[in-house]
Amino acid sequence: MTEHSNEGDEPLESSSPSLSLSTFHDACQEAGRPVLTASELARALERPQRAVFDDLEALSASGDLKRLSVSRDPVVWFPSELEDLTDRERVVVFPKRREIIVDRPDQFTRAQLTQFANLEDTNGEGGYRYVVRPADVWQAPHDTFEALQRTIRQALSRTVPALESWIESQWRRAHQFRLTTHPEGYTVLEGESAEVMGNVARQKLDESHVHAPISDTEDWVREGAEAAIKRTLYEAGYPVQDDRDLASGDPLEFELQVSLRSYQETWVDRFLESGEGVYVGPPGSGKTIAAIATMERVGGETLVLVPSRDLARQWAETLVDADVTTLGPDDVGQYHGGQKEIRPVTIATYQIAGMDRHRSLFDDREWGLVVFDECQHVPSDVYRRSTHLQSRHRLGLSASPLREDDRAAEIFTLIGPPIGTDWEALFEAGFVAEPELEIRYVPWADDEHANAYGSADGRERYQLAAMNPEKVDEVRYLLAAHPDARALVFVDYLEQGRDIAAALDVPFLSGETPHTERQRLLEAFRHDELETLVLSRVGDEGIDLPSADLAIVASGLGGSRRQGTQRAGRTMRPAGGALVYVLATRGTREEDFARRQLQHLGRQGLTVREQTVDRDQDEEATDSDEVGGAGDLEE
């Protein structure tokens, strides 16, 4: 891990009247070396040197420590089992920064930490850095603070009063407001006290949100303003609990025919505790199967919202697959530009669900569960209209609930809190293959293109770098280097896609491709009849390509971090050996874009390498052999 300066924020450790081996390990951790003198230890513990020396002698006599005379100091002390210092799980807490550094944590510790902290980055060598944010505490899956406190102490193996005090204050904030249903059917906003109601809710909300006060702690909510109230108070630092008596839908009875993995069971259990949430996990982690299991447990008619017609078709095929569920074709309908069927399980596109002329069809049916697939889109103006479809249970699915604007929090206010699993745990358990990511810096095809870039500005510069003709040769080179790979080549520009497809003599699938031809190409790829496919942005989301084991990103580096996750994620499947190559034109802003786009993947535990392509020497010169995670790359 990167060494952190304490900046006046010393990691808290429990003190004891006599020295223990654990305390000695803690002091070694602080000093950054496995050997200490008695004077160093005395200063660290703020105890008399004589008393510390006596304790060291006692630990030496018991065999826990060994002593060694050296030339520069009279005696240094070190653990008898020195390897224990490097192999044992170590947790260091910085309360003021609300930061937790963990060295070689086991999966239990990581599972506990993810219940109240966010994994910021890893170093690829067993080091993890977590940060406790307000939203992490608000979304903790516990009914009482005492239960959350037990989880914190289990994860940290001790009490950290300063951190616990801050977490408790955030816990209290998350339980100040709730939405309930009045006996007469309308919605009420309740405050925990008259003070918080007057000083927060009535200062932040206006007549577009509420009609009038009912009491000192209750306001009558305008119909349809619930989502706006939740969003407004969330942004003010007060998440709202949604306890409305929403529709549970007509019964839906079927059986799931596949067994859930342990983490999927945990996802479903956590969702059912609150009735809302977002399953967050890498592609290949089984979010769709977990969602179907949730449908089975909820047992009410279900509406699934998706961003594309292709994804609607894939959902329908999965739901009626006899190896997956006992649902039949008459139980599942699709509602989009191609088909318009309302069934006990209906899959619709966000665009259709948000249109006024179709809305009544969805409003008139009571849904026990609404599933928002690829829910990172929900805050956008086009998609958010679908969120008026409220039900007792709201479930989102996303590999990357990231947005480049400031509206990411809306995903969780409109749908529910994130429910996920440490990505690296999935890699270690073999549920998902960790792809190898490599940024390759490609030279200009010739001076003419380099000069054109130098004289251009703005968007034109970005396009020239993205469409550097040298990338066509690089794609050809990479495919030749992996002759047996099933490859996807991603582009942002139609002209570039056509050029690469023509050079490779392979199909190009874009938004212009007719749906029938699109389905034919995807089926050919799935069934090993097509080894290479060039894709425009239509391939970033909503297309399931489970057999891909090589991805080449030829352009698109100005896109979002979410796009980087989606494209890299096309190789994250249980089969190993997946590779992702990101091409960036050397000496352009694409270099920065490549780092930015993959940086958050490094924080999830993936390793990102950098390679400079040298055409003059018919070989590749290594610019940087390996970056221990994209988190080490400067944005």
Query: Same domain for 301 and 369?
Result: yes
Please, which pLDDT band fits residue 183 given cuts at 50, 70 and 90? very high
Distance CA 300, CA 302 (A): 6
Residue 91 lies in a domain: no
Q: Is the pLDDT of residue 246 over 50?
A: yes
pLDDT value of residue 86? 47
Please check whether residue 272 is in contact with residue 419, taking contact to mean a CB–CB distance below 8 angstroms.
no
Q: Which of 43-57, 219-233, 385-399, 474-488 has the lowest mean pLDDT?
A: 385-399
- The CATH number assigned to the domain holding 335 equals 3.40.50.300
Q: What angle do CA 451, 454, 460 make, to 5 degrees?
A: 105
Alpha-carbon distance 417 to 394, whole Å?
10
For the segment 225-238, the average pLDDT, to the nearest whole number, is 88
The per-residue pLDDT of the chain, averaged, comes to 79
Regarding whether 419 and 492 lie in a shared domain, the answer is: no
Q: Is the pLDDT of residue 161 over 80?
A: yes
- Give the bridge partners for 490, in sequence order: 535, 553
List the single range of 34-38, 559-563, 586-590 with lowest mean pLDDT. Answer: 559-563
Q: Could you report the per-residue pLDDT of 438-450, keeping only the tens digit for each?
A: 889 999 988 899 9
Same domain, 507 and 539: yes
On whether the CB atoms of residues 533 and 485 are closer than 8 A, the answer is no
Percent of the chain with pLDDT over 70: 74
Same domain, 227 and 266: no
Regarding whether 437 and 575 lie in a shared domain, the answer is: yes
- pTM for the whole structure: 0.63
pLDDT at 10: 45
Whether residue 537 is predicted with pLDDT greater than 80 in this model: the reply is no
pLDDT tens-digit series, residues 280-321: 887 778 899 999 999 999 999 999 999 888 889 989 999 999
Q: What is the pLDDT of residue 356?
A: 65
Sheet of 187-191: strand order equals 210-215, 218-221, 187-191, 177-181, 240-242
* Look-up of token digits 């816990």: 171
212 within domain boundaries: yes
Tell me, yes or no, whether 128 lies in a domain: no
pLDDT at 213: 93
Mean of the pLDDT values across residues 413-421? 79
Neighbours of 512 (CB within 10 A): 12
Residues 331 and 377 in one domain: yes
Q: How many CB atoms lie within 10 A of CB 502?
A: 12
Q: Which domain holds residue 545?
A: 433-632
- What letter would DSSP give residue 186? -
Helix axes 470-481, 494-504, angle to 10 degrees: 50
Residues 523-533 have a mean pLDDT of: 87
Segment 126-136 shows an average pLDDT of: 88
Residues 575 and 623 in one domain: yes
41, burial (CB in 10 Å: exposed 0-12, middle 13-18, buried 19+) = buried
116 and 110 Cβ atoms separated by less than 8 Å: no
222 and 356 inside one domain: no
Strand, coil or helix: 225: coil
Q: How many CA atoms lie within 13 A of 321 on its CB side?
A: 14
Contacts 24+ apart (CB under 8 A), 169-173: 170/134, 170/137, 170/138, 171/137, 171/138, 171/140, 171/145, 172/145, 173/134, 173/138, 173/237, 173/238, 173/239
- Report if residue 315 sits inside a domain: yes
Last residue of a domain, which of 398, 425, 452? 425
Same domain, 476 and 613: yes
What's the whole-number mean pLDDT along residues 531-557? 72
627 band by pLDDT with thresholds 50, 70 and 90: very low
Phi first, then psi, for residue 351 (nearest 5°) are -60, -45
Do 458 and 502 share a domain, yes or no?
yes
The CA–CA distances, whole Å, from 207 to 182, 201, 202, 223 equal 19, 12, 10, 12
Task: Give me the amino acid identity at 580.
Answer: V
Does 350 have pLDDT greater than 50? yes
Q: Is residue 380 located within the same domain as residue 446?
A: no
Q: Is 410 helix (H, G, I), strand (E, B) or coil?
A: helix
Do residues 212 and 219 lie in contact, with contact meaning Cβ atoms separated by under 8 Å? Answer: yes
At residue 28, what are phi and psi to the nearest 5 degrees?
-60, -40
Candidate from 33-47, 167-181, 303-317 with smallest mean pLDDT: 33-47
Q: Are residues 590 and 607 in the same domain?
A: yes
| Domain assignment present for 540 | yes
**Is 185 a member of any domain?**
yes
Q: Is the pLDDT of residue 395 over 80?
A: yes
User: Which residues, listed in sequence order, are joined to residue 620 by a DSSP beta bridge?
Assistant: 613
Report the range of poorest mean pLDDT among 230-244, 273-287, 384-398, 502-516.
384-398
Is 284 a domain residue?
Answer: yes
Examine residue 501 and state whether it is found in any structural domain, yes or no.
Answer: yes
pLDDT of 6 over the 80 cut: no
pLDDT digits (tens, 9 = 90+) for 99-112: 999 888 887 888 88
Q: Which of 129-133, 325-329, 386-390, 403-407 has the lowest mean pLDDT?
A: 403-407
Q: How many separate domains does the chain show?
A: 3
Q: Which of 425, 459, 479 is the last residue of a domain?
A: 425
